[in-house]
Structure 1
Amino acid sequence: MSAAAASPPPPAAAGEHLRFHLRGFLSPETCKELEFVHRSCGTAGYRPSVVSTSLPHLAATGCGHLLLPFVPVRERLRDAVESAFSCHFDLFIEFTGLISWCKGASIGWHSDDNKPYLRQRAFTAVCYLNDHGKDYKGGILQFQDGEPSFITPVAGDVVIYTADNSNTHCVDEVTEGERLTLTLWFTRDSAYDEDPKLLSFLSQTSLNYEPVHQSSYIPLPASDIMYWFAYDHSGFDVRCARVHILGFSFHSSIDEDNKSVAPAEDDPIELLGKPVRLGRGDDVFDKVFANGLHALQVSTYFHFLSSFSLQIMSIRLQ
């Protein structure tokens, strides 16, 4: 089923555990586009072994243009939730974020409104952007009561449910890989509407840039501590890790000889806020990036572009 053809769920009957599993809600292209945003912009998350990318973070770091893929998805999800729970034109989006659960991440039984500061949450939508078994192991969403009792993630699928204790749930530990989702919470209280806050962020950051200038799309990194991923009594910088996975390393931009040089002697984290080059093996490339986040975004973009081209070529050769 294509994303456009995914039909809204029927309204729930009274007394049911209010949850729905919508298959094929997001297209593979949309999943990949959102994955690109997350892998090139994410910061250390709100829980151990979690990486997150929120919309205010994108706006605050000069990446307002990367909000565009979220706009139609958010509206389609709101329509689906309002249709499922018969609350048309009644909901506001409280939070939108890309969240990846890495090896070791899990959460015990809880409801999504289980803290005093979360009482405004009425509904949850979790959109899976990659596949269980292929991209990661573990990370199964389980519900304490009712059906479906668990969800095996498939890219493009969405699960929506009420945020109260009728949908107490947990997520099994991720044992391998990285489980990636787009998560939204909805509220009936306009005081918690995410959109006015987001527009305020944009008016102070991205919208102040002149779009004719190339620098309009140069990211402005957040504080280094936001990229520090604590792991096993130590940790690492998310930007360094993402670049390393792509086969590159960061180097100072001030080396006179840009060939066959070792990484700069500077503090590697401090280096990421300055102009940098990328290297692979013993070679360091000529291109100078504005900062480490800029280098990560460009290298991630070309990685996704080449991967997509290979997929198209493979399909045509079949």
Structure 2
Amino acid sequence: MAAAPSMENPRRLLHGFFSFELCKELEFIHRSSGTVGYRPSVFSTTLPHLAATNCGHFILPFLPLRDRLKDAVEETFGCEFELFVEFTGLISWCKGASIGWHSDDNKPYLRQRDFAAVCYLNNHEKDFRGGLFHFKDGEPSSVAPIAGDVLIYTADERNIHCVDEVIDGERLTLTLWFTRDCSHDEDAKVINILSQRIQYEPDSFLPLPASSTMYWFQKDGSGFDVRHARSYLMGDCILLGEMKFLSKNS
């Protein structure tokens, strides 16, 4: 049985929490539905996004894992009342992505966050270089991502942390935040979006086209649309906003 987390720096690293097969399934969902994330060189897939784009069937693999994670957080930190999931997101950190020292509740609009869970879906030094997770104080002080491992911690100033810049490859995680405040329950938001889609499009069972950003390939601080990769490699450039085609021979 794992030792109780320190009260000074409440956190726990759970090894082999879920299977390699589930890692690959979540990676597939992200590749199919991801869109531009909240930071440069970051892409994300959230449950509200899946619901809004008529990809509700992709939500199903998340549900048992979310329940397991919520149970683990409640047990680890001795929560007296049931927690609510505030956010669920697949997040890929591409080359150049990083984040400095912070706590996860460090903005007024994030104060509802009480606990965090970071689920690693691929491996440090195998799938990417850089991207180590560091805590400012306490142990473990650093975490090297391994597929299937989960890091859980309180979202307050007792667990200030950062992520090193990704040097190469792509670092993929499933990140969840939990709250004691039922008004921030993510499930209620997702159900509301799904019910609206069923109400206004009752005969639609096919997913809507994914965001065009899913085709964006990050390269050396810039990037290109993979649908135009052949033209790009030939030295041509397509400016989609102005519908212009620029050739290296122009």
TM (norm. structure 2) is: 0.85
CA distance in 1, matches of 2:156, 2:192: 30
- After superposition, residues 155-194 of structure 1 pair within 5 angstroms as 155-194=147-186
Where 1:77 maps in the other structure, the secondary structure is helix
State the AA in 2 paired with 1:128: Y
2:124 to 118, 129, 132: 132
Distance 2:82 2:219 in 1: 41
Alignment partners' CA distance in 1, 2:127 and 2:57: 28
2:234 aligned partner: none
Instruction: Name the structure 1 match of 2:139.
Output: 147
SS at match of 1:217: coil
> How far apart, in 2, do the equivalents of 1:235 and 1:64 lie?
30
Q: Does 1:236 align with 2:224?
A: yes
Instruction: Name whichever of 67-76 and 80-89 sits farther off.
Output: 80-89
Matched-pair contact (CA < 8 Å) for 2:122–2:146: yes
* Of 34, 38, 44, the match for 1:46: 38
Residue number in structure 2 paired with 1:12:
5
CA apart distance, 1:204: 1.7
Written as runs of structure 1 = structure 2, the 5 A alignment for 1:150-299 is 150-205=142-197, 216-222=205-211, 224=212, 234-237=222-225, 240=226
- Aligned residue among 84, 88, 98 for 1:92: 84
Q: Distance in 1 between matches of 2:171 and 2:221?
A: 22
- Equivalent pairs counted in the alignment come to 238
Report the CA distance between 1:221 and its aligned residue: 3.4
Give 1:32 deviation, angstroms: 0.7
Q: Distance in 2 between matches of 1:122 and 1:227?
A: 35
Larger Rg over CA atoms = 1
C-alpha change, 1:192 and 1:57, in structure 2 (3 Å) is same
Amino acid aligned to 1:175: I
Partner amino acid, structure 1, of 2:210: P
State the Cα distance separating 1:160 from its structure 2 match: 0.1
CA–CA separation in structure 2 for the residues paired with 1:99 and 1:270? 30
| Cα RMSD (Å) | 2.9
Label 1:75 to 1:207 Cα distance change in 2 as closer, same or farther (>3 A). farther
| CA distances 1:175-215 after superposition (whole Å, capped 9, x unpaired) | 000000000001111111111001001112267666xx7x6
Distance across 2 between alignment mates of 1:191 and 1:141:
30
**Does the C-alpha gap of structure 1 residues 206 and 106 become closer, same or farther in structure 2, counting only changes over 3 Å?**
farther
State the AA in 2 paired with 1:39. Answer: R
Q: Percent identity?
A: 62
Shift of residue 16, structure 1, vs aligned partner: 3.0
Q: 2:246 — aligned with what?
A: none
User: Residue by residue, what CA displacement relative to the aligned partner does 1:8-57 show, whole Å, maximum 9, x if unpaired?
Assistant: x55435x3310100000011111111000001110011000001000000
Report the Cα offset of residue 233 of structure 1.
7.1
**8 Å contact from structure 1 (residues 62, 206) kept in 2:** no
Q: Paired residue for 1:29, among 14, 21, 25?
A: 21
Structure 2: state its 5+ residue gaps. Answer: 232-237, 244-250
- Segments of 5+ residues of structure 1 without an aligned counterpart are 1-6, 251-265, 272-318
In structure 1, how many angstroms separate the alpha carbons of the residues matched to 2:198 and 2:29?
A: 16
- Aligned partner of 2:98 in structure 1 is 106
- Between the aligned partners of 2:46 and 2:153, the Cα distance in structure 1 is 21
Structure 1 residues 202 and 10, CA gap change in structure 2 (3 angstroms): farther
Give the 4+ runs in structure 1 shifted more than 2 A. 9-13, 205-210, 217-222, 224-237, 266-271
Amino acid at match of 2:116: T
Q: Is the 8 A contact 1:10 1:84 kept in 2?
A: no
Q: 1:121 aligns with which of 113, 130, 137?
A: 113
Q: Work out which structure has the larger RCO, using CA pairs closer than 8 Å and 6 or more positions apart in sequence.
A: 2
Given that 1:124 and 1:163 are in contact with CA atoms closer than 8 Å, whether structure 2 keeps it comes out as yes
* Mapped partners of 2:92, 2:181: distance in 1: 28
Structure-1 separation of matches of 2:75 and 2:188: 24
Distance 1:207 1:226 in 2: 28
> How far apart, in 2, do the equivalents of 1:184 and 1:91 lie?
12
Match for 2:39: what amino acid?
A: R
Partners of 2:24 and 2:214 in 1: CA distance? 24
